[in-house]
């Protein structure tokens, strides 16, 4: 970038940088949010088929959805998997965070690696491996397999949120507690846990959100039993599109957005970015 042309480019960038940045932010935000707005909008469309713009607005599809047993059953099925999976995942992730933060032991790096890998290995590969091993080799019942799959799927994300709260925790408080004669278990219960609790809850909320939306592992591991909500939608989309899916989408959006907002409120959003 030398000579007059380079200088001209540099000056142009210098002058318009802020405007270009604003344009980038606006355009990308539109790209991210317009599809979601479209979904919400379509759920009120009277036409039923995917026409745009819709003729008139209605709550009809919400009524259809609420009186549809299959969809409601799918939600119940999803919850019976997500709630226990989240609980197990949070406990295990907290143990990982505690161990990685407090103890120096052989295999600590491996533990961190193992807790990160499920994010990295393509979902389809892990899903296939799980169906081979859980259903093929171990012969586990579907329900147990799916819950385990969800635990594995959510551990990396829960750990990612919980670990920083341990790292930023003031150890001096623990030292004080121990100086006052409390042992490690009691210190954890009465000093550490209350302090890291917001982070643990945030990790749990994100794990739950992920589990509630989980599709790939469930799709492979779960047999032909009751579908979870994402699997139900997948079947709907592939065979016959019904406007009901728009409504379910809105339900999903509300669950996800509220969970994440609470999680962010509990921790700080930049913790998710600062690894």
Contacts of 185 (CB under 8 A, 6+ apart): none
* Site membership for other proteins, residue 29 (CB under 8 A): yes
* Site membership for other proteins, residue 46 (CB under 8 A): no
Taking the CA atoms of 196, 198, 200 and 202 in sequence, report the sign of the dihedral they define.
negative
Q: Kindly report the number of other CB atoms within 10 A of residue 172's CB atom.
A: 8
User: According to CB under 8 A, which one of 74, 82, 134, 244 is a site residue for other proteins?
Assistant: 134
User: According to CB under 8 A, which one of 4, 5, 120, 179 is a site residue for other proteins?
Assistant: 120
* Site membership for other proteins, residue 50 (CB under 8 A): yes
User: According to CB under 8 A, which one of 33, 175, 176, 197 is a site residue for other proteins?
Assistant: 33
Checking phi first, is residue 171 left (phi over 0); if not, alpha (psi -120 to 50) or beta?
alpha
Per-residue contact track with other proteins, 143 to 182, x per CB under 8 A? -----xx-xx--x---xx--xx-xx---------------
* Site membership for other proteins, residue 18 (CB under 8 A): yes
Minimal distance in Å, beta carbon 271 to other proteins? 10
User: According to CB under 8 A, which one of 59, 72, 129, 193 is a site residue for other proteins?
Assistant: 129
Say if CB 131 and CB 220 are below 8 A apart.
Answer: yes
Minimal distance in Å, beta carbon 59 to other proteins? 19
Q: Is 96 exposed, middle or buried (0-12, 13-18, 19+ CB in 10 A)?
A: buried
**Which residues in 207-246 contact other proteins (CB under 8 A)?**
209-210, 213, 215-216, 220, 230, 233-234, 237-238, 241, 245
Give the pair of three-digit tokens for residue 165.
């709260």
**Which residues in 61-100 contact other proteins (CB under 8 A)?**
92-93, 95-100
Taking the CA atoms of 210, 267, 265 and 184 in sequence, report the sign of the dihedral they define.
positive
C-beta closer to other proteins: residue 72 or 129:
129
Q: How far apart are CA 113 and CA 272, in angstroms?
A: 18
């Amino acid at each position: 970038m030398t000579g007059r042309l380079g200088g001209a480019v540099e000056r142009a960038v210098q002058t318009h940088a802020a405007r270009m940045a604003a344009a980038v932010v606006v355009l990308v935000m539109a790209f991210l949010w317009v599809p979601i707005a479209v979904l919400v909008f379509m759920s009120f469309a009277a036409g039923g088929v995917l026409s745009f713009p819709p003729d008139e607005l209605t709550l009809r599809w919400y009524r259809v959805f609420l009186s549809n047993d299959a969809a409601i059953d799918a939600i119940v099925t999803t919850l019976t998997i997500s709630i226990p999976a989240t609980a197990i995942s949070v406990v295990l992730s907290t143990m990982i965070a505690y161990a990685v933060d407090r103890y120096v032991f052989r295999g600590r790096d491996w533990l961190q690696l193992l807790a990160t890998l499920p994010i990295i290995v393509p979902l389809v590969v892990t899903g296939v491996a799980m169906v081979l091993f859980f259903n093929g080799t171990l012969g586990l019942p579907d329900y147990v397999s799916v819950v385990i799959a969800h635990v594995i799927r959510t551990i990396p994300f829960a750990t990612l949120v919980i670990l920083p709260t341990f790292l930023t925790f003031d150890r001096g408080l623990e030292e004080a507690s121990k100086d006052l004669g409390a042992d490690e278990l009691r210190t954890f219960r009465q000093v550490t846990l209350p302090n890291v609790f917001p982070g643990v809850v945030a990790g749990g909320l994100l794990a739950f959100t992920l589990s509630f939306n989980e599709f790939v592992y469930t799709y492979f591991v779960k047999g032909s039993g009751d579908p979870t909500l994402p699997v139900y939608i997948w079947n709907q989309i592939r065979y016959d599109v019904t406007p009901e899916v728009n409504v379910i989408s809105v339900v999903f959006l509300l669950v996800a957005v509220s969970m994440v907002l609470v999680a962010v409120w509990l921790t700080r959003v930049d913790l998710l970015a600062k690894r």
